[in-house]
Amino acid sequence: MAKISRVEARDILFKLLFETEFRSGDEPQNIYALACENREIPHNNYIKDTFFGVVSKSEVLDAIITKYSKGWKADRLSKVSRTVIRIAVYEMLYADDIPSNVSISQAVELTLKYGEDGAKRFVNGVLSGFFKDSNEKGFEAVVAEALAEKATKGASTDESAEVEAEEPASAEENA
C-alpha cells in the first residue's frame, strides 16, 4: 500500500481507538492485529505507536480530559469526543514532532467529520484550556495537577458511596 499522510493515519488511528471503546474486554494487541489484517491498514509507526500509547496512557489522558471538561468526567463524554481528545492530548504530551496547534486543529477536523453537532466547540475548548495551562505551567505540572484532582475526587466519591451505602441499612434498622 502507498505511503499515507499524517491526516489519513490520524483518521485510521481514530477508528481503531473508537473501536477499542466498544471492545473493552479485548486485548489492544488483538484489536490492532485484527484491524490491520482485516482492513489492510498499512504499517505506519505513527498509527501503531500512538494507538498503543493512547491505550497505555488512558488514565492520564482521562484525568486531563476531566480537568478541562469543566464538570464532565471523561467517561461521561461521547465516545467520539473522548477518542478525539485523547489522541490530541497524547500528541501534545508525547509526540514532539507534532506541534500542539496541529493536534488541536486536527482534533477539531475529526470532530467535524465524526462528532455530533456542537462537539467541535467543546473539543476545541478542552484542548485550548489544556494547551494554555501547559504553556504557562509546563506539561508535567498540568499532568500532576490533573492526576491529583482525580485522586482527590476519587477519594471523596468513595467516601460518599460508603455513606450512601450505610444510610439505607440504618433506616432499615430503625424500622
The CATH number covering residue 74 comes to 1.10.940.10
Give the integer Cα–Cα distance in Å for 150 and 161.
16
Among 5-9, 64-68, 83-87, 171-175, which is the least confidently predicted range? Answer: 171-175
Number of structural domains in the chain: 1
- Considering the entire predicted model, what is its pTM? 0.82
In a domain, 1, yes or no: no
In a domain, 30, yes or no: yes
The residue range of the domain holding 126 is 6-174
Does residue 158 surpass a pLDDT of 60? no
Contact present, 90 and 51 (Cβ < 8 Å): no
Residue 70 has what pLDDT? 80
Q: What are phi and psi of 69, to 5 degrees?
A: -90, 0
Mean pLDDT of 77-101: 94
Residue 29 has what pLDDT? 85
